[in-house]
Structure 1
Amino acid sequence: MHVTKLQRWLILFNVSVSTFMATLDGSIVNIALPIISQELNVTISAIQWVVTSYLLTISVLLLVWGKLSDIYGKKNIFAFGFIIFTVGSALCGISDHLQLLVFSRVLQAVGASAMMALSQGIVTRVFPPGERGKALGITGTTVAIGSLVGPSLGGILVHMVGWQSIFFINVPIGLVGTVLTFAIIPELHDAPENRGFDIKGTFLFSAAILLLFLGLLFLQERKVSVPLFISLLLLSATALILFFILEERISNPLINLNLFHIHEFSFGLGSAFLSFVAISATLLFMPFYLQYVLKLDPLSAGLIISFYPVTAAVVAPFSGWLSDKVTYRPLTVTGLAINTIVLFGLATLNSSSSHITIILLMALLGGGVSIFQSPNNSSVMGAVPKDQLGVAGGMNALFRNLGMVSGTTLSVLIFSLTTKMDINLLSQRGILAVTDTFLKGYQLVLIFAALSCLFSVALSFTRFVRTRPV
């Protein structure tokens, strides 16, 4: 397979468009939920399924699309992702009742999961090792930009045009992406000897992921009791154990378990998971701290938090480029170490903390994330055989989602158990009379985030020690 330099960068642009769309759509919808619930005449609790269904569908299908792309090729599946995402977006825009909107969001997520699962594998396949980190760093920038502009763009569109516009905006972008996919992406495929698909393994793995994510999401929203959550967790673990037993016995497993024997792959996934646990817990509680403790208005709080994705977007390509020159090892440890120090610093904030201090810490947090993430993605994807890049990309995205959901759920639990307060009710009643109690819970959550990041440092450091040149 010969790919010219121009073609490589056009492919990267196309992949970045897909990454931006999928990330944007995960963040742009939240701002519109209240107005959607009013116009469709449904409760806030019911409208949350617009978000939940999207996340669940993506998480269940990431590995499936990755495996299918390893068997049948990446080009057509990636184009299929664009097409289905575009159709789903159009249906979301014309939905006039909740059931159709949720169905359309599921359809959107089917397409988004295909694009997410394949994007890193496509970039890894077409870029040589000396340019891989830089290319993956650029895709990291698009993720940060999508997260940054989603809420503000969503607010503008909802205010000026209507909530339907946040979905219709995807349609022309999706059409362009589909055309580019067919025009410039070659067939990136080494046909395996066994083209069979592991249906039983897929069912068991999907059941395990679905039960786990449902349990975590429902627990976070206080919709299930702790005993019921434990039951869901045990069922998920049982399905996962049966899945691993099956995978050891068949010739065409959904996941080749030998991948986990690759140190850079397994420890890279573990480090990423813990890093996203820490970041998601932090980003969940920072708006509450800024608005209810420092008494900032939503716009000012949003501007302070935006220093995190802005810095991440700027640093990501430079970090990836540097990893091509000096390898990923020192960068992953450095980025995580920076974040650990920053998170401990955020844990010391109180009602008299300086805005400049918070801005500096949020900027450093974004920089640390990118210093770690771009090289880590490069190491994870570069460590696996070419015929398993689809599965590796799907696993990488799945661990990211699992880290984010786990981080928000665990932080809510820590906060609730230590303060006897429900974070889901804070915005309704305010916490003017219990600022000290909130600060206690907030600080414990940030210490939890910092410790998660510290464990991630330890995992990355083992990769540094084990694989450093002698």
Structure 2
Amino acid sequence: MKSTVPNILPAPPSALRGGLTSLALPTLLSSLGSSITNVSLPTLAQVFGASFQDVQWVVIAYLLAITTLIVGVGRLGDIISRRTLLLAGLSLFMLASLGCAVAPTIWWLIAARVAQGLGGAVMMAITLALVGETISKDKVGRAMGLLGTLSAVGTALGPTLGGVLIAGFGWQSIFLINLPLGGVALFCVYRYLPQTDPQQVTKQGGFDFVGMALLGLTLALFSLAMTLGHGHFGSLNSLLLLGTAVAACAFVWVEKKVASPLVQLALLLQPILSCGLLTNMLVSTVIMTSFVVGPFYLAYGLELAPQQVGLVMSAGPLIAALAGVPSGYLVDRFGAPQMISLGLLGVCLGALALSMMSATQGVLGYILPICLITAGYALFQAANNTAVIKQVGIERRGVASGLLNLARNLGFIIGASAMGGIFALASAASDIRLGSTAGLQLTYLVAAVLAALGLLLALWSQFYRKGQPVIQE
């Protein structure tokens, strides 16, 4: 089936700025939704009289909803107008935020966070897909870099903004802040993003609800297997992984049978796309390592105060925010394949440097490799997202965007569980200072191997990419 030519934003700078703002604000909101609640957990536990295990689900529910639903909503965006779906996702996110703010019980709050996660999944998947549909080809890399910057800003700003809002206006304010921000985003999307004409909507047939349910079940079971037990892998985790395998097999069987599958299995077998997704997951695993390992090494290995730990930990998101737009420019200037390899090389070298770290090198010895890793990650993300979205035809950009976000989230989940387990195992020493240093070295050695594997995949993909057509229906 031939894809139609999408509406490209007109040349005037005001229209381009409006279109970019329409894509950037939902990205910022979905990122804030994930990071702003972490600082509120002690307050929420006290307000609702909830245990630590229960209140953790305020964070987990949001991430789990995004992870399980993002491919499905991306596919839905391939069937109906992406602009309409983005407006619906923003509206749901705002309504769910209001539901969070008025929650009378912890379980009401958790349920509202699930709904908020559905809205966040729509915003994440659809904004990425809309870049290829509404931004001219020569500016796609810069748009991807901007979205990466806003995502990093949301991650970095969330804890600080959350703390200020809770101290000044109460815990409800961390959810109510989404209402004015969401209102501005709604206006920009309605005003600046072009409506897809009926004749431009690709006729894809029905929506694969069974496939979406099975994929959601597969991802939910896998996510729970990786997160339950807090680093200790027991019989429950094994049972959940077994359930994951069964659900995954059922999903593959259904996708082979239905006329209009949620995910075309042939799409996943396409080497360029599959390499992009696998590399994205590997690099995300490496990035999560710094969030899991960093606080323990800084606190116990370098003996920093909590305030100092927080300041050092903010270096990574700050570099990501600063590097996003320049990374996009480099992608547009020199091409995505070359920048993918360069970004992965930076991640690999930074991880290798941390694997040789000692406490005598101090804070600066830790920050410099982290900055190299983060800058490399920003360049990789802008380039990889650009390459995948350009490679896939317009009628499959929604599901491709969902798969990109899914690969990243799975990498984060695996990184938090597996890399945290490696660090805990290697840090088992009588002297916690020596143990945490040994844990850092081994964990980042594994991270360097993962980054090197990603680099090899990217180099192989570059050779394969030459002369390959865009993936169509």
The 8 Å contact of residues 204 and 240 in structure 1, kept in 2 or not, is answered as yes
Question: Which of 189, 208, 221 is 1:211 aligned to?
Answer: 221
- Residue 247 of structure 1 is matched in structure 2 by 255
Deviates more, 1:412-421 or 1:181-190: 412-421
Pairing of 1:41-440 with structure 2 (within 5 A): 41-188=49-196, 190-220=200-230, 222=232, 225-420=233-428, 433-440=431-438
In 2, the alpha carbon distance for the partners of 1:172 and 1:324 equals 34
In 2, the alpha carbon distance for the partners of 1:365 and 1:2 equals 34
Structure 2, unaligned runs of 5 or more: 1-6, 469-473
**AA matched with 2:420:** V
Q: Secondary structure at the match of 1:352?
A: helix
In 1, the alpha carbon distance for the partners of 2:42 and 2:115 equals 22
In 1, the alpha carbon distance for the partners of 2:439 and 2:65 equals 32
Scaled by the length of structure 2, what TM-score is found?
0.93
1:373 positional shift: 1.1
| CA RMSD of superposed structures (Å) | 1.8
1:242 positional shift: 2.0
**AA matched with 1:437:** G
> For the structure 1 residues 263 and 130, does the alpha-carbon distance in structure 2 shift closer, same or farther, using more than 3 Å as the test?
farther
Instruction: State yes or no: 1:441 paired with 2:447.
Output: no
**AA matched with 1:380:** V
In 1, the alpha carbon distance for the partners of 2:434 and 2:427 equals 10
**AA matched with 1:313:** A
1:388 positional shift: 0.9
Question: Which of 454, 458, 463 is 1:460 aligned to?
Answer: 458
1:420 positional shift: 4.8
Identity %: 29
**AA matched with 2:225:** G
> For the structure 1 residues 436 and 383, does the alpha-carbon distance in structure 2 shift closer, same or farther, using more than 3 Å as the test?
same
1:127 positional shift: 1.4
1:411 positional shift: 1.2
**AA matched with 2:446:** F
1:468 positional shift: 4.9
The 8 Å contact of residues 122 and 188 in structure 1, kept in 2 or not, is answered as no
Q: After superposition, what is the alpha-carbon deviation per residue over 1:272-306, rounded to whole angstroms, capped at 9, x for unaligned?
A: 10000011022211111111221111222222222
- Residue 3 of structure 1 is matched in structure 2 by 9
**AA matched with 2:119:** G
The 8 Å contact of residues 428 and 435 in structure 2, kept in 1 or not, is answered as no
1:148 positional shift: 1.0
In 2, the alpha carbon distance for the partners of 1:81 and 1:75 equals 10
Q: After superposition, what is the alpha-carbon deviation per residue over 1:329-364, rounded to whole angstroms, capped at 9, x for unaligned?
A: 111111111111111111222222222222222222
In 1, the alpha carbon distance for the partners of 2:231 and 2:257 equals 39
> For the structure 1 residues 2 and 435, does the alpha-carbon distance in structure 2 shift closer, same or farther, using more than 3 Å as the test?
closer
Q: After superposition, what is the alpha-carbon deviation per residue over 1:355-404, rounded to whole angstroms, capped at 9, x for unaligned?
A: 22222222222211112110111001111010111111111111110000
Scaled by the length of structure 1, what TM-score is found?
0.93
The 8 Å contact of residues 280 and 404 in structure 1, kept in 2 or not, is answered as yes
Question: Which of 6, 9, 31 is 1:23 aligned to?
Answer: 31
Q: Secondary structure at the match of 2:437?
A: helix
